[in-house]
């Protein structure tokens, strides 16, 4: 999923998917902060979070800690979704990092 598409959905407030941060922090509004799922305890936390969700519910996963090719979190998260038989999930396209591909573009963010 492209960041602009998710940002537009968040700003509309309608038909929000389940948005899950599998990285170091939940920057995107309405997202669930699981923590870095490259760590086993957080991967289990993700699986528990997903346990009772309908398998066809729209889910968006994001990390943004570093470029995709180095990210230790997105692959385990997507693998868990596949193993749990989810059918309507997306990886948010953040190829560089959350700052460059989301914050710097002016998309909505959680104010800390």
CATH number of the domain within which 64 lies? 3.40.250.10
Backbone φ and ψ for 21, nearest 5 degrees, come out as -90, 120
If one counts the domains in the chain, the total is 1
Cα–Cα distance, 55 to 68 (Å, whole number): 25
Range of the structural domain that residue 26 is part of: 3-105
Residue 15: inside a domain, yes or no? yes
Residue 110: inside a domain, yes or no? no
pLDDT, residue 111, reads 77
Cα–Cα distance, 109 to 29 (Å, whole number): 6
Residue 34: inside a domain, yes or no? yes
Residue 111: inside a domain, yes or no? no
Rg (CA), the chain: 13
pLDDT, residue 112, reads 56
Residue 75: inside a domain, yes or no? yes
pTM above 0.75, yes or no: yes
| Alpha carbon 50 to its chain's center | 13
Residues of the chain with pLDDT under 50: none
């Amino acid at each position: 999923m492209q960041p602009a598409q998710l940002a537009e959905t968040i700003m509309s407030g309608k038909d929000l998917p389940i948005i899950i941060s599998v990285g170091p922090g939940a920057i995107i509004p309405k997202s669930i902060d699981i923590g870095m799922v490259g760590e086993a305890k957080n991967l289990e936390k993700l699986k528990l979070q997903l346990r009772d969700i309908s398998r066809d519910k729209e889910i968006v996963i994001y990390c943004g800690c570093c470029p995709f090719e180095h990210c230790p979190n997105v692959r385990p998260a997507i693998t868990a979704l596949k193993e749990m038989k989810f059918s309507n999930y997306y990886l948010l396209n953040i190829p560089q990092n959350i700052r460059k591909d989301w914050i710097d573009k002016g998309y909505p963010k959680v104010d800390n």
